[in-house]
């Protein structure tokens, strides 16, 4: 709704090159609302506005855009700004974008990442498609069980780039194996000399990186939590997955199920943006089956035509 109201006004301001006013207007909105506004603009206008926004705000807005809008915006942005955004966005959001692009385009974008981010992106893309590993983020905080609460907070002050994933701190051994977790709220009210061991939750809740995303959806429903750790086959902690990522998966799975109920293969994108050949490939098998089924139905109706004439009530059962 906000996008529909402001998009014409912003387009006019862009045409007038009134960039100072544009920046002032947009900075008054939360990132999610700005992303809604962007969806009603052309990719070129989106690119202009992203360049105007402060770097962190521009990154957050880009993360809120649908994947198809992200693709269009990247094409409109210059190489420097593309590199900046790809290096700044959350690893799980970046993976969601890269896995939807053709292989050649993905390789070009990976080349724009700095070595650390490229390593993270390559590792996440190495997990099977539709696996939990593709949805997780490696930006978690792990601590040791022999630490005190005071030592934990000293360590947290050095982890400012992971502030979005500190509500639960995961306890690991020297080899990185997941042992347990503690809640930040319990640490906050504990005495600084209290050992971490005294605050453990004694729950071994985790997901396997190679498992299907639907398992994550079921786990979040069952345990009613906002974040779960992800481990590899050796129980080594490799990342975390948050509820917002799972909601995206649940929405996609629901859309796919509804499409299949309508005898349509999952389209994998907005209806109006699906190419004609993709549409034929996904719908032709179903249409062929329905056509053959209609032939059998017509033959059966012709065979029982006289019976239907004698008992017209049978026509009720045509469907």
For 94-158, the DSSP string reads: HHHHHTTS-HHHHHHHHTTS-HHHHHHHHHHHTSPTTBHHHH-BS---EEETT-BHHHHHHHHTT
What CATH number does domain 142-249 carry, 1.20.5.50, 3.40.50.620, 3.40.50.450, 3.10.580.10? 3.10.580.10
Looking at per-residue confidence, does 146 or 40 come out higher? 146
Tokens of 130: 């539709």
Where are the strands (E) in the chain, listed by range? 142-144, 168-172, 178-183, 207-208, 227-231, 237-242
- pLDDT at position 177: 93
What CATH number does domain 2-126 carry, 3.20.20.30, 1.25.60.10, 3.30.750.24, 3.40.50.300? 1.25.60.10
Lowest mean pLDDT among 22-26, 81-85, 303-307: 303-307
Tokens of 133: 């590993």
- pLDDT at position 29: 86
Confidence of residue 153 (pLDDT cuts 50, 70, 90): very high
- pLDDT at position 3: 46
Percentages (nearest 5) of helix, strand, coil residues in the chain: 60, 10, 30
Whether residue 194 is predicted with pLDDT greater than 90 in this model: the reply is: yes
Rg (CA), the chain: 26
Look at the pTM and tell me if it is higher than 0.85.
no
Contact 112, 139 (CB under 8 A): no
Q: Report the mean per-residue pLDDT for the chain.
A: 82
């Amino acid at each position: 709704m906000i996008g529909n109201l402001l998009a014409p006004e912003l387009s006019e301001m862009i045409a007038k090159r009134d960039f100072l006013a544009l920046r002032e207007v947009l900075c008054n909105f939360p990132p999610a609302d700005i992303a809604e506004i962007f969806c009603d603009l052309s990719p070129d206008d989106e690119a202009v506005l992203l360049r105007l926004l402060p770097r962190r705000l521009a990154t957050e807005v880009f993360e809120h855009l649908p994947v198809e809008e992200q693709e269009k915006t990247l094409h409109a942005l210059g190489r420097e700004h593309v590199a900046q955004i790809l290096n700044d966005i959350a690893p799980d959001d970046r993976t969601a974008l890269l896995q939807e692009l053709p292989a050649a385009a993905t390789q070009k974008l990976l080349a724009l990442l700095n070595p650390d981010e490229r390593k993270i992106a390559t590792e996440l893309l190495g997990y099977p498609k539709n696996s939990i590993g593709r949805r997780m983020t490696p930006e978690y905080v792990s601590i040791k069980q022999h630490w005190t609460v005071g030592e934990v907070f000293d360590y947290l002050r050095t982890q400012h780039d992971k502030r979005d994933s500190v509500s639960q701190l995961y306890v690991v051994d020297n080899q990185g194996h997941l042992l347990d977790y503690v809640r930040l709220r319990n640490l906050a009210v504990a005495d600084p000399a209290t050992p971490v061991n005294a605050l453990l939750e004694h729950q071994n809740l985790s997901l396997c990186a190679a498992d299907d995303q639907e398992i994550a959806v079921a786990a979040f429903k069952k345990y009613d939590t906002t974040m779960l750790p992800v481990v590899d086959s050796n129980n080594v902690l490799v990342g975390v997955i948050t509820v917002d990522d799972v909601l995206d998966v649940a929405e996609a799975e629901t859309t796919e199920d509804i499409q299949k109920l309508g005898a349509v293969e999952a389209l994998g994108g907005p209806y109006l943006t699906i190419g004609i050949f993709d549409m034929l490939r996904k719908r032709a098998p179903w249409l062929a089956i329905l056509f053959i089924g209609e032939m059998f139905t017509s033959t059966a109706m012709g065979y029982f035509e006289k019976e239907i004439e004698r008992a017209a009530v049978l026509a009720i059962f045509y469907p």
